[in-house]
Structures are given as C-alpha cells and as structure tokens.
Structure 1
Amino acid sequence: MTQQTDGRPQMTATVVLYSHDSVGLGHARRNRALAHALAEHLPGLLGEEVSGLLIAGHPDAPADSLPDGWDWLVLPGFDRTDDGYAARRLRLTVERLAAVRGATMAGVMDSLSPDLFIADRHPLGVDGELRPVLSLLRERHRCATVLGLRDVLDSPRAVQAEWAAAGGAEAVADAYDAVWIYGDRRVYCPVSTGEVPAGLASRSLSTGYLAQGRPEDAGAAVEGSYVLTVVGGGSDGAPVARAAAAAPPPRGHRHLVVTGPQMPEEQVRAIRLLARPETTVLRSVPHVPALLRDAAAAVTMGGYNTLAEVMATTTPALVVPRRSRRAEQPRRAAALAAAGAVEVLPAEACEPQALSAWFAKAVGTAVDRSAIDLGGLSRAAELAAQLIRARRAAPMHSPHPTGVPRARAASRPARVPTPLEALAHAH
C-alpha cells in the first residue's frame, strides 16, 4: 500500500492476521505474538513501514496490547457447543453469522489491500466464512496467503475429517501460498502423523516454536520466591486450579494461581475459598511470560501458547493436559516430555498432594530447552518478507507466483519413531 507523507509517496506493508476464536484466546494470542515479531523485524527486512490488523472473534482479545500502527477487528462471535458452532450472542444461524463475518472481512480486505494474510488453524474459517476473503485476495490484490498451524492439531482421524470438510488438501493448496507449522519437527511432526495431509506437504515447513521474543506487557514485579499455576483462558481449567489452590507450596515460597479471564466467576470464588494463606488467586495478569520466567516452578495445562512461553525459560514445568474436546494437549505434552522439556501429570492424578510434592522437588532446579528450535517468531518475519516480495513481483491472478519460496516439506525426521508417532500411525 502506498501512503502520502509530506507530499511524498511512501510504501507501507500491510499484514492481516485472522483467528476464529470460538473457545479460549489461544488463536488470537498466537497471532498477537506474530504481530509483535512482524512489527519488529519486517521494516528492516522490507525497507518500509509495516502496519497491520488482527481479526478476532472474542471480545476479550483486544485486552492485549498491539504494536504501534496495528489494531483489532473483533467480529460477532461463535461459541462451541456439544452440537458444533452456534452464535455467541446474535440470534442468527451459524450460516447467517458466517455470511455476516465473511462479508465484513471481505469489505475490510478490499479497502486495506493487504500484502500478507495469515489465517490461524482454520483454512476456511467457520462454515467457510473465509472463502470470499481468499477469493478476493487472489483475484483483486497482490496478497501472499499463509495458513498457520500449531505443532499438534488433533488425532489424525479427527483432523482428516476436518480437512475433508474444508474441501480437501487441494482446495486449501489453491488458497494458500505456504503452510507454516509453529513447532520443531524433531519434537513432533504433524506431516508424519498424518495431521497435515500429503497434498500440503510440499508447501509446509516447521518454523520453530513461537517462543523466543514473545511480547511482555508491563506488570508489577513479584517480590520474593514463588511458584506459579496458570490454566490458560480458564474456561476448562477449574480442576487444575482447585488442586493448585489447596496444595501447600514449598517452604519459603508463595504460590500464585492465575485462573484466566474466561473461568466462570462462581468457580473463581470457590477456588479462592480453597486457597491456603500462602496462595494468591488472580483472575488474570498482563505479564504471564515474565511470571513464568521468574517462577521457581510452574504447573500449567497443555495449550500451545502457555507451553511456548514456558519453552522460552529454564523454569521447571509440570503439564496437566486437558483431555476433553481434542487430543491435542496430551499429544503435545507427551512429545515435549519425550524431548526432556517438561514433566506430565495425568488429569485424573491432579490432586493437591501430588502438586505439592512436585513443587517441592522442582524448586531450585532448571531445565535446559536450548536443543529445541524456539526461534519461530523471527523466522516467520523472514519468511513473510520473502512471500511479500514474491507476490508483489508476480503477475496478477497468479495462484502461486514464481519466486514464492516453496517451503521445504516437513517430512518424517530421520530417526526412530517415538511411541507417540507410532500411536498416531496406528490410528
């Protein structure tokens, strides 16, 4: 996009990041980390200013700050129910709400004419809401398109059904120039497990975990030694938070329990009643990465963003993965435990005594995670610059312009499959 500054034309690269955000804030938080990295690195790589827009579907998303020149677009939201998606507040069918969201995004895209569009996890959005957006970007704008995937999606069987519902790998390949997998394929390779279909392997690459360089919002420093429990957004974290609040912390340590902003208020009240004198229960904090870095030990659930923040530290971590909805968290926790990055406690064993014993053992130790690729944020900026240059140089209407870097396939690592990979292939 060309803007006028003091009467002179000036190029500004525009980036749009999409997340559907039906449950939790993981998708929006991942995109926010990317926004900060792109704002930091892209101007130097492209030699021009960079501006951006984050599209989200949850009203809590804008509570997180963005770089200068970036803003939020919050769409009317979806909720996830036992029967699938439903409108969060509007009295609309899923189909009508998806149409409203799709038309809104298409109008914004046509006005912004972005250089780069990154969709998190869902290639066509909810009920195909991204179809008009992707068609418009291909037909009328020189915009590079990226599908961003977390390291673990779900069980291969469940994910294959989702790809089929999106029209198959071919339909996704037609819409996206590249697929970025936000992980280290030596730890977990979703192409090898079948979570990413073979038809997308040729344009898929592992960026490394989005760990190092995550934004840290300012917050009051915690004085003294403490242990920490965090449960992500908190919508399903009450069992872990209850056990943590009742767990005696190690001698000489306070215990901070962060319930997350999406935990129901009655559950937060119950957890506060269980809390020991040395334990403080907080609903939310703006500086979780710093709290994790400075904690003597941490208990977490197995969501991508929390574990990416853990991986950027040497803090010992015990992961209690969620087992409802998806197989994602147990698979991620098992893979990272096999790599020596975390320890795992099954949800059914998450009791106050077990957490107290683990805290007592973990304080005073440190975990070296430097063997894992944690540089996904800076690498994403380099890849983004390559894609933007190639798309600008390509003819209009080119599905995949010559010069757009073909991402190396995230092929099977040259090693003996782990038990987790063997389990994936068995399914």
Structure 2
Amino acid sequence: MDTADHSQELRIALYSHDSLGLGHTRRNLAIAQALSDALPELTGRKLSGLLITGERTATSYRCPKGFDWLVVPGIRKKSGRYEARHLGVKSERLFDIRSSVIGGALDAFRPHIVIVDRHPFGIDGELIKPLRELKAVKPETTFVLGLREVLDAPEVAAEEWKRVGVESVTDLFDRVWVYGDRDIHDPLATGELPAEFAPMVDYTGLLSSGRKFSGRHNATIKPFVLTMLGGGSDGVNVAKAAAAAPVPAGVQHLVVTGPQMPSAERHEVEAVAGPSTKVTNKVSDGMSYVASADAVVSMAGYNTVAETLSTDTPALLVPRTTPRTEQIIRARGLGETGAIDWVDPSEATSETIGQWLAEAVANPAIREKQRAAREELGLNGLDRVVDLAADLAWLTDKSVAPLPVPDANIVAGYSSNAGIAADADPAGVTRNAVTVPAHSFEAAGVNHAAV
C-alpha cells in the first residue's frame, strides 16, 4: 500500500563520478533501491530522486521507483589526468559541461538530501559551484559524503584530503556515511579519514544484505563457476588467467569481462579460453549469476565484494594493487575473517585459480566456512542507510517540529547481526563490540580459512 503523502515530496540526489568501473554507480543504485523501498512508508512522503552518473551504460540497470538517471559526459583517467571518455573536447571544457549540467539539475530539482559518493567536490572540483549554489538557495538541504570502508594507504589518503581541503568538507557537509564494518576496517583509526571528520561519521555496515536481484540466469550453463571483473577496464590479466584455468569435469565456466574492457583485450581473453569456458562482456543481472554459481572468482572492488557477501557462494578475490591499495587492504581484512579466500595478483595464475575452483566445487566445507563467517559480519548497511536518511528527512518535514540535532561529539555506530555482542556508550549509541578472530593459511598462493 502506498501510504505516502503526495502533497509533500522528499527529494534526494545521489552523485557518482564514475571514471573507472561501475562500482560507484552500482553502490548508489543499491542505496536508491533501499530508499525507494522503505522511505515513503517511514516518512509518509512521496520519494523523488536523481541518480547522477558519468557512466552511460548505467541506464541499462533498472531504476528504482521514483528515481531517474541524469547522465553527464563520461571521463577516464589516462597518464594520471582525467580526460573525456567519449567527447572530443579538452578536459577544462568537459568539466565545465559536467558542472553546468549538474548545477542546473540541482537548482531545478532542489533536493532535500544530497549524497555524494567518494569525492566530496567531484573530479577537478566540478561540484564546488553546484553544491554551494544549492546551499545558498536552499540552506536546509542536508549534504552527505558517502565513503567506502577502505580508501587507500593512510599516507595517500591524507595527501588527498589535504588537496581537497578538510575545512572545506566540514564546512559544507553535514554527515559522513562510511559504508563498512568498523570491526574489520575503521578508516578513522587507520588515519584514512581526518580526525576532524569524527563528529560527522556514521558507520553503516557493508551495503550487502537486502540487495535486489531477479534470480534469473541462463539455466543452460548449470552447474557453473563464474568469474566477474566489474566494469572490466583494468581486469584483463585476471580475466585471461581465469579463462585459461582448468575447469572441474561436468562444470561450465562463465567469464564476464565487463562492458568497459576494450574489445581487443576481450578478444585476448576469448583466445585463451578453454572448451568449457564461455566469455561474455556482460550479463543482465550479475547478482543472480553470483548467487547461483558453485564458486566465483572476482576482483575486490567494494560493490562486487558487497554483492558476493550477501550470498553463500564461495569466493576467491584477486585484488588489484594499483593505482590504489584499497582492494588488497579489503581482501586481507575480509580474508582474516574467513568470509572469502584471496590471492595476490602476482600469484593468480591459471593453475592457482583452477586448483581453487576444483576445491571449492568439490568440498562443501569451503562454502559452509565462508557462509558462517559472513553471518558474523556487519552486512546490514542498506537498512542503516534507510534509517539515517529517515532521520534526516524529518528535519525537512514541514508537518512536524524539527528534531534536536545529535550531540556533535558522538560518532554513530550500528547494530550488526543478532548473536554478536554489542554495548552502548554513555550517550546510548549501540556499537558492535565483537572482535573478529583471524584464521588463515596459504596453499598454492591462496589465503583462506582452514576447513
């Protein structure tokens, strides 16, 4: 039943820059879906939202009810600089176009909440003018910076925040949502986030549980194992190693290179594929394939990992190590919990991948061990984001008095899965108090929990 009051809209805009891969857009899409499903009933208001992206293939994903896409010209990073992915214009003009389009949309849409993914002021400052102008004409707008749980090596992240300007961020943004399990990786504790952000931070847990997928896939390839490379722009080496890996008898192997892998590289992957391996650039519903596979090999981007952790499919991660160390930090942390296996990319040979696939398919204990470990993680980030957004929405509800602003000295936590010990600080904020034990050993270069 639609209980929303259509006389008062709740407008939300989500931005992602999308220079590499599809993870930023897919993360915002998952958030938009969760908000669309729950916020109207929680707030009694009709939800209307903009998904702002720089990836034109994003529109192939189903848009949640009440949301629509705003696609700006795409960018890519080349030789350390950003340039147009498709347009024949120089970078300065490209960012002028992107900034003008975003600014015009925000000025006309007048959102109550703006959620910016990863880069507070966009690429090359493209959001500075649009966000400041929106705040000037609609000062009650709440600005949220959404961050994955791992940014990079602390010294690298510190330099980035120095260039962005810590004070500029704290002046404009109201909250910082960290999409991760604080007990696995805490970017405030590691120094990836400036200490000045602490009063603004809400830890949500990983955006895993509650991900929507159709459950439909190509049944003709069952049983099958799966290799997924996300967008695919930097996944050719993993794709070739996986495609050439031996496959267990009677099992098919589907390698999804991703729509951003250049066609020449995809042909290289196809050339080394074995007789039981099929290579394709994309599938209609990746999560359905992950959930149905007997085992999955992937890189360690945030969104791919979050989706995988929501299933019980055994996973082997092959993290990239450049240009950021984010993926290998994530793989190590999750590997210590036993929730996934991982291998350093320098050791991710066809033989190593083939050996892991054979063990994962033949030994049910590997699936059970990873499944049990995943149950101990904080995976309820989408529910937490909905609650946080609902709290912010009340501040813009004209039918009720504003709620008191939370104590600025509180860094909000989250309640993770049942059965995990939790305690409350003096301010009453529930915090996950579990310490995750590390279990790992190395075999054929693969780091995984003993089974």
TM-score by length of 2: 0.85
Structure 1 residue 105 and structure 2 residue 108: aligned?
Answer: no
1:233 and 1:262 in contact (8 A); partners too: yes
**407-416 or 143-152: bigger deviation:** 407-416
Classify the secondary structure of the residue corresponding to 1:408: coil
2:242 and 2:353 in contact (8 A); partners too: yes
State the Cα distance separating 1:41 from its structure 2 match: 0.7
Render the CA deviation track for 1:107-149: whole Å, top value 9, x for unaligned: 1111111111100000011111111222123222232111000
Structure 1 residue 19 and structure 2 residue 16: aligned?
Answer: yes
Counterpart Cα distance in 2 of 1:319 and 1:166: 31
Change (3 A) 1:344 1:19: same
Q: 1:43 aligns with which of 40, 46, 49?
A: 40
1:134-213 pair list within 5 angstroms: 134-141=131-138, 142-168=140-166, 170-213=167-210
Structure 2 spans left out of the alignment, 5+ residues: 414-430, 439-451
State the Cα distance separating 1:103 from its structure 2 match: 2.3
Structure 1 residue 408 and structure 2 residue 411: aligned?
Answer: yes
Counterpart Cα distance in 1 of 2:280 and 2:126: 36
State the Cα distance separating 1:409 from its structure 2 match: 5.2
Q: Report what 1:232 is aligned to.
A: 230
1:185 and 1:413 in contact (8 A); partners too: no
Counterpart Cα distance in 2 of 1:196 and 1:414: 22
State the Cα distance separating 1:56 from its structure 2 match: 0.6
Counterpart Cα distance in 1 of 2:344 and 2:251: 25
Q: Report what 1:388 is aligned to.
A: 393
State the Cα distance separating 1:85 from its structure 2 match: 1.5
Q: Alpha carbon RMSD of aligned pairs, Å?
A: 2.5
Classify the secondary structure of the residue corresponding to 2:375: coil
Render the CA deviation track for 1:214-259: whole Å, top value 9, x for unaligned: 2325743434311111111111111111111111111221111111
2:217 and 2:289 in contact (8 A); partners too: no
Counterpart Cα distance in 2 of 1:405 and 1:228: 47
Counterpart Cα distance in 2 of 1:9 and 1:370: 39
Counterpart Cα distance in 2 of 1:257 and 1:279: 7
Counterpart Cα distance in 2 of 1:340 and 1:218: 26
1:386 and 1:405 in contact (8 A); partners too: no
Q: 1:82 aligns with which of 69, 79, 87?
A: 79
Classify the secondary structure of the residue corresponding to 1:179: strand
Change (3 A) 1:276 1:9: closer
What is the percent sequence identity of the aligned residues?
Answer: 42
1:247 and 1:353 in contact (8 A); partners too: yes
2:334 and 2:340 in contact (8 A); partners too: yes
Structure 1 residue 333 and structure 2 residue 331: aligned?
Answer: yes
State the Cα distance separating 1:277 from its structure 2 match: 1.6
Counterpart Cα distance in 1 of 2:322 and 2:194: 24
TM-score by length of 1: 0.89
1:57 and 1:74 in contact (8 A); partners too: yes
Render the CA deviation track for 1:304-335: whole Å, top value 9, x for unaligned: 01100110011111111011210111000001
Counterpart Cα distance in 1 of 2:326 and 2:217: 33
State the Cα distance separating 1:42 from its structure 2 match: 0.5
Q: 2:383 aligns with which of 353, 378, 388?
A: 378
State the Cα distance separating 1:82 from its structure 2 match: 1.5
Change (3 A) 1:9 1:273: closer
Letter in 2 for 1:64: Y
2:16 and 2:28 in contact (8 A); partners too: yes
Q: Which 4+ runs in 1 deviate beyond 6 A? A: 410-414
Higher RCO, 1 vs 2 (CA within 8 Å, ≥6 residues apart) = 1
Q: Report what 2:272 is aligned to.
A: 274
